[in-house]
């Protein structure tokens, strides 16, 4: 059966009948055939989802069994590995698959093979990727799909990233999703949302995943999800970065990859989207959609900073589970084919991007991206809908009629430009010894290079960032109290003691260095509250002491003129006794000169 005929079959029927799925032969003209399974090998591993007609999905013990089962049936092509242990003691499993003979990271690098990492279950209620990945892998190994691809690449497949969350199993864990009957939970056992953790890496699971990434250095990282949100006909969205962001040459390759994947999905009957289908006003389709670049707390915002592809795949949660699994399977097969065809080219582009990143010193580097106000209208396949008053919530409520498809003229803002940019430092960053351990935890987990400066650095010329304003978030996020700072880098001379860190900007992960150490970057150490102490006043001057100090200082005509001018020009200041006294305290020798001083510095000269 040709691929086009295979794709044209009704998706529910296709996946509800595993035997029919197995009947899909290799692509016409394929010149590669798989090695036969081992003598006495068990039948091809099939998931509980397949066996149930995609009504149910298996528990995590099935992942463990299937991992071992694939390695047993395909001993020349599959390894089952553990890459970590969850807080509840579960092994974190990955399947390494290739027919090239390169089943270890060193062998893949030596052979110049592209590595594709496909991950399911980061949100363990969105479990499509697990069942689709196992199906796609079996078909690729048996030559029924992506024929010959595994000879040209290495696939690292993580069926369930969030294993502990997967075992918080229940029927209503995803109230905005159709099927399977029961599924896992969004967050980990420690209540971390792993897809907010790529840069700060608080969760043990994330640190394990980043270790796997560091070992294999995948050229593309595919993160498989199901959406939340409205009801409409589109069934999958695919977002890739670099495309709007990052290295320009890699972004051009990202655009070509995205368009190829979307064309392939459309040819198989899907209605794919190149943007995440979330409305600007959450429950109001008329408000339109704003595209963007996600910050590096997200998978597809993180990998561009490593000069690799991050790919976010979202099937539509309101499609039935067999349909979602089929579409996800098609996407995985498409990525295998694209990587087999273009992977070596991508490696060359990425290597050149690494070189360019190591030469970013002095260049403007975006810390974030925004959509402009330019709006265009696109045809969007929705349903009839209405917003009417609800006597339950007392507010407007949106209702969809899935029996009445409609074409919505959707306002779309998808012109993406850099938001806040900053020039990369001339040489790198200097971290005082007192904060070295804190910073190295972040640097080490991301494979960022640095060195310790053994000797003191007296009178070193640096750039220091002093906050003009520092605003703590009103509520915690991911167990942290986030901080927003405003200010600028200014030239200063400071003494640094022995044991400081020097983090050079001249390295392939220079964008990642800046994402971590630039205080105004959206997911920096400062933004995630690592240095909140630096912005908290710890010493103070009693009011009666400040009164006496102020009167003494007012004897200076220049001080008196400045104070009276501030009182005359700033009504809010004039009305605040505290602000008026602080004005004098800030000019007194007792003022803490480190208050508001970001405890990481920039330098244009590498220390000896």
The predicted model gives 233-242 an average pLDDT of 98
Sequence-ordered list of residues with C-beta below 8 angstroms from that of 65, at least 6 positions apart, any chain: none
Q: Which residue has the tokens 């009011």?
A: 543
The 3-state secondary structure of 469-507 reads EEEECCCCECCECCEEEEEEEEEEEEEECCCEEEEECCC
DSSP for 518-578, please give it. -TTSTTSTTTTTTTGGGGS------HHHHHHHHHHHTTSHHHHHHHHHHHHH-HHHHT-HH
Instruction: Tell me what pLDDT residue 282 has.
Output: 85
| Residue 422 in this model has a pLDDT that exceeds 80 | yes
Instruction: Tell me what pLDDT residue 425 has.
Output: 98
Instruction: Tell me what pLDDT residue 117 has.
Output: 99
CA distance 420 to 71: 48
Between 97 and 23, name the one with better pLDDT. Answer: 97
The predicted model gives 376-391 an average pLDDT of 96
% pLDDT > 70, the chain? 93
Query: Could you give phi then psi for residue 491, rounded to 5 degrees?
Result: -70, 135
**Given pLDDT bands bounded at 50, 70 and 90, which one contains residue 229?**
confident
CA distance 156 to 120: 11
Q: pLDDT of 62-81, one tens digit each? A: 999 999 999 999 999 999 99
Summary mean pLDDT of the chain: 93
Sequence-ordered list of residues with C-beta below 8 angstroms from that of 418, at least 6 positions apart, any chain: 364, 366, 368, 369, 370
CA distance 308 to 65: 31
Q: pLDDT of 146-199, one tens digit each? A: 999 999 999 999 999 999 999 999 999 999 999 999 999 999 999 999 999 999
377 neighbors 409 (Cβ within 8 angstroms): yes
Angle among Cα 103, 104, 109 to the nearest 5 degrees reads 105
| Residue 338 in this model has a pLDDT that exceeds 80 | yes
Question: Which range is least confidently modeled, 13-27, 107-121, 306-320, 439-453?
Answer: 13-27
Instruction: Tell me what pLDDT residue 446 has.
Output: 98
Report CA-CA distances (Å) from 3 to 8, 28, 147.
9, 8, 11
Instruction: Tell me what pLDDT residue 34 has.
Output: 56
| Residue 107 in this model has a pLDDT that exceeds 50 | yes
The predicted model gives 380-394 an average pLDDT of 95
The predicted model gives 402-412 an average pLDDT of 97
Instruction: Tell me what pLDDT residue 514 has.
Output: 99
Q: Which residues pair with 371 in a beta bridge?
A: 416
The predicted model gives 378-392 an average pLDDT of 96
| Reported pTM | 0.92
**Given pLDDT bands bounded at 50, 70 and 90, which one contains residue 482?**
very high
The predicted model gives 389-405 an average pLDDT of 95
CA distance 431 to 433: 6
Q: Which residues pair with 96 in a beta bridge?
A: 79, 156
Query: What is the three-class DSSP state of 251?
Result: helix
CA distance 586 to 550: 11
DSSP state of 361: T
The predicted model gives 475-502 an average pLDDT of 97
Q: pLDDT of 509-562, one tens digit each? A: 999 999 999 999 999 999 999 999 999 999 989 999 999 999 999 999 999 999
Instruction: Tell me what pLDDT residue 15 has.
Output: 44
Sequence-ordered list of residues with C-beta below 8 angstroms from that of 304, at least 6 positions apart, any chain: 241, 242, 245, 246, 247, 250, 310, 511
DSSP for 169-236, please give it. -BTTS-TTS---SSB--SS-TT---GGG-TTT--SHHHHHHHHHHHHH--SEEEEEEE--S---S--E
Query: Within a 10 A sphere around the Cβ of 403, how many other Cβ atoms?
Result: 7
Q: What would the two tokens of residue 503 be?
A: 């983090």
User: Helix 577-585 crosses helix 543-553 at what angle (to 10 degrees)?
Assistant: 60
Q: pLDDT of 18-58, one tens digit each? A: 433 333 333 333 334 455 555 556 666 789 999 999 999 99
Q: How far apart are the first and last CA of the chain?
A: 67
Instruction: Tell me what pLDDT residue 569 has.
Output: 97
Instruction: Tell me what pLDDT residue 45 has.
Output: 78
**Given pLDDT bands bounded at 50, 70 and 90, which one contains residue 228?**
confident
The predicted model gives 199-213 an average pLDDT of 98
Q: What would the two tokens of residue 39 be?
A: 């003598």
Dihedral over Cα of 9, 128, 299, 378: its sign: positive
């Amino acid at each position: 059966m040709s691929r086009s005929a295979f794709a044209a079959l009704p998706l529910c029927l296709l996946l509800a009948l595993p035997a029919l799925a197995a009947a899909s032969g290799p692509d016409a003209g394929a010149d590669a055939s798989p090695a036969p399974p081992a003598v006495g090998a068990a039948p091809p591993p099939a998931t509980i989802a397949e066996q149930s007609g995609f009504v149910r999905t298996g528990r995590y013990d099935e992942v463990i069994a299937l991992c071992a089962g694939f390695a047993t049936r395909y001993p020349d092509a599959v390894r089952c590995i553990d890459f970590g242990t969850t807080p509840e003691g579960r092994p974190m499993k990955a399947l390494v698959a290739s027919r090239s003979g390169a089943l270890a990271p060193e062998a893949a690098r030596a052979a110049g093979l592209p590595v594709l990492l496909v991950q399911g279950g980061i949100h363990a209620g969105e479990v499509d990727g697990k069942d689709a990945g196992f199906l796609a892998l079996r078909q690729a190994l048996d030559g029924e799909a992506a024929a010959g691809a595994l000879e040209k690449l290495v696939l690292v497949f993580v069926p369930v990233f969030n294993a502990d969350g997967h075992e918080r199993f229940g029927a209503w864990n995803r109230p905005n999703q159709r099927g399977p009957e029961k599924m896992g939970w969004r967050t980990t056992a420690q209540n971390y949302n792993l897809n907010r953790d790529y840069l700060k890496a608080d969760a043990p699971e994330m640190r394990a995943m980043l270790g796997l990434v560091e070992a294999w250095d995948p050229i593309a990282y595919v993160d498989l999800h199901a959406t939340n949100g409205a009801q409409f006909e589109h069934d999958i969205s695919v977002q890739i970065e670099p495309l709007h962001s990052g290295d320009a040459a890699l972004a051009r390759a990202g655009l070509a990859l995205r368009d190829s994947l979307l064309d392939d999905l459309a040819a198989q009957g899907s209605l794919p989207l190149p943007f995440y289908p979330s409305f600007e006003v959450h429950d109001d389709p008329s408000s339109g959609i704003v595209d963007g670049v996600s910050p590096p707390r997200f998978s597809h915002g993180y990998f561009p900073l490593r000069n690799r592809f991050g790919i976010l795949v979202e099937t539509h949660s309101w499609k039935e589970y067999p349909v979602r699994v089929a579409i996800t399977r098609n996407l995985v097969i498409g990525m295998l084919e694209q990587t087999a065809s273009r992977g070596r080219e991508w490696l060359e582009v990425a290597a050149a991007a690494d070189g360019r990143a190591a030469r970013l010193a002095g260049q403007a580097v975006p810390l974030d991206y925004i959509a402009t106000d330019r709006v265009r209208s696109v045809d969007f396949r929705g349903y009839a809908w209405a917003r009417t008053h609800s006597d339950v919530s007392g507010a407007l409520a949106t209702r969809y009629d899935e029996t009445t498809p409609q074409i919505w003229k959707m306002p779309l803002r998808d012109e993406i430009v850099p938001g806040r940019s900053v020039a990369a430092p001339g040489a790198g960053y200097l971290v005082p010894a007192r904060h070295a351990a804190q910073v190295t935890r972040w640097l080490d987990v991301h494979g960022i290079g640095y060195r310790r400066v053994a000797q003191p650095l007296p009178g070193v010329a640096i750039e220091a960032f002093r906050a003009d304003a520092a605003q703590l978030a009103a509520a915690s996020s991911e167990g942290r109290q986030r901080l927003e700072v405003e200010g600028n880098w200014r030239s200063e001379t400071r003494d640094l003691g022995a044991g400081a860190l020097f983090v050079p900007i001249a390295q392939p992960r220079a964008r990642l260095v800046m994402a971590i150490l630039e205080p105004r970057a959206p997911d920096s150490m400062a933004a995630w509250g690592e240095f909140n102490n630096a912005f908290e006043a710890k010493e103070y001057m009693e009011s009666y002491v400040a009164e006496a100090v102020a009167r003494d200082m007012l004897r200076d005509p220049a001080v008196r003129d400045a104070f009276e001018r501030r009182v005359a020009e700033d009504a809010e200041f004039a009305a605040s006794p505290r602000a008026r006294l602080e004005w004098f305290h800030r000019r007194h020798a007792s003022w803490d000169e480190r208050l508001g001083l970001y405890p990481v510095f920039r330098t244009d000269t590498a220390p000896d």
